[in-house]
Amino acid sequence: MRIDKYLKVSRLIKRRTVAKDVCAGEKISINGRIVKPSAEVKPGDQIILEMANHVVEVKVLATPNSVKANEAHTLYELIRDERRTESC
């Protein structure tokens, strides 16, 4: 499954167009490699999303084409969810 679609289906990002923009901005990596929106993701892959002051790292557990909103969290295992604070 394409990474942009996976991010939308898993509800890590709410809209596919936003997921495409984040990928195009080189803010998403799979297994340590920066990827484009068309990159394939499969179970076992590790994804890191870097958005503004927020970093999320997950391990992909499943890649179905659709899932109910209340089951979306079952598609990945959360490894890290970190908010960065800027100090002056």
Instruction: Give residue-wise pLDDT tens across range 55-65.
Output: 999 999 999 99
26 or 2: which carries more pLDDT confidence? 2
DSSP characters over 22-80: HHHTT-EEETTEE--TT-B--TT-EEEEEETTEEEEEEE----S---GGGGGGGEEEEE
> Of 21, 20, 44, 49, nearest to 34 (Cα)?
49
CATH, residue 65: 3.10.290.10
Q: Is residue 25 part of a domain?
A: yes
Instruction: Give residue-wise pLDDT tens across range 30-73.
Output: 999 999 999 999 999 999 998 888 899 999 999 999 899 999 99
Instruction: Give the domain range for residue 18.
Output: 3-83
Residue 87 — very low, low, confident or very high, per pLDDT cuts 50/70/90? low
Q: Is residue 88 part of a domain?
A: no
Distance CA 18, CA 13 (A): 7
